[in-house]
Structure formats: structure tokens, C-alpha cells
Amino acid sequence: MTLEELLAKYEAGERDFRSVDLCEANLSGVKLNEANFSHANLSIVNLSGSHLCGTDFSHAQINVARLSGAYLHQANLNHASLNVANLIRADLSRAQLQSASLIRAELIRADLSRADLFAANLSCADLREASLRHAILRYANFNEANLRV
């Protein structure tokens, strides 16, 4: 599926894009709220400034992606792989990140308030000035992560 086809289908009301391969696509600034991208390949994709509230990215590959300033409020990222992703100033409030892999992810000034990071791997992640207020951090791995305020 091409990027143009996906956007046309979304505009027509379709929300199920499971297992789609959009590797290296430029989706910056798009609105794809409440869509289903579970098991999708979104590696190296540009989603900077995109509106993705309530979107399902469970089990998706989102490695080395750009999500700076993206709105991921209440998104499902359970078991997703976001290694080396740029999530600077992203809104991940109330997002589900159970068992997600965020190794070496950039989460500077990201909003993770009330996010569920149960058993998430944030080793070597950069969380400087990130908000983790009321987040669920049980069994999360912060080995060598930067947590400076």
C-alpha cells in the first residue's frame, strides 16, 4: 500500500492498517487518530508532529523513526519496538507501553504522565526533563538511561 492509498482510505473512514509496511515514509503532521497499525513496519518513518491519539501500534516496528512533537495520547504501543526513535517533546500521556522496547530512544521533554511502562525496556534512553508523573514503571528497565531533570 502506498502512502497516498493509506491516506485516501483513512479519509474514507477505514482505520484498519494492520501489518502495513510504510518503511521510510514521510507522514509528518498527518492526523491518523484511532487507526490500527498493529504489527506494522514503520521503521525510519517520519511522524513528527502527527496526531496519533488512541492509535494502536501494538507489536509494530517503529525503530529509528522520527516522532518528535507527535501526539500519542492514549496510544497502544504495547510490545512495540521504538529503538533509537526520536520522541522529543512527544505527548505519550496515558499511552500503553507495556513490554515496549525503547532502547536508546530520545524522550527529552516527552510527556509520559500516566503512561503504562510495565516491563518496558528504556535502557540507554534519554529522558531528560521528561514527565513521568503517575506513570506505571514496575519492572521497567532504565539501565544506563539519562533521567536528569
pLDDT band at 7 (very low <50, low <70, confident <90, very high): very high
Q: What percent of the chain has pLDDT over 70?
A: 99
Query: Are the C-beta atoms of residues 114 and 132 closer than 8 Å to each other?
Result: no
Question: Which pLDDT value is given to residue 140?
Answer: 98
Amino acid found at 28: S
Reduce the secondary structure of the chain to three states and give it as a string.
Answer: CCHHHHHHHHHCCCCECCCCECCCCECCCCECCCCECCCCECCCCECCCCECCCCECCCCECCCCECCCCECCCCECCCCECCCCECCCCECCCCECCCCECCCCECCCCECCCCECCCCECCCCECCCCECCCCECCCCECCCCECCC
Residue reference for cell 514496575: 138
What class is the 1-149 domain?
mainly beta
Q: Evaluate if residue 149 carries a pLDDT over 90.
A: no
What is the chain's Cα-based Rg?
Answer: 14
Q: Evaluate if residue 42 carries a pLDDT over 80.
A: yes
Question: Which pLDDT value is given to residue 148?
Answer: 86
Q: Which residues pair with 106 in a beta bridge?
A: 86, 126
Rounded CA separation 144/41 (Å)? 27
94-132 pLDDT, tens digit per residue, is 999 999 999 999 999 999 999 999 999 999 999 999 999
- Exposure string (b/e) for 41-61, b if CB count within 10 Å is 16 or more? bbbbbbbbbbbbbbbbbbbbb
pLDDT band at 4 (very low <50, low <70, confident <90, very high): very high
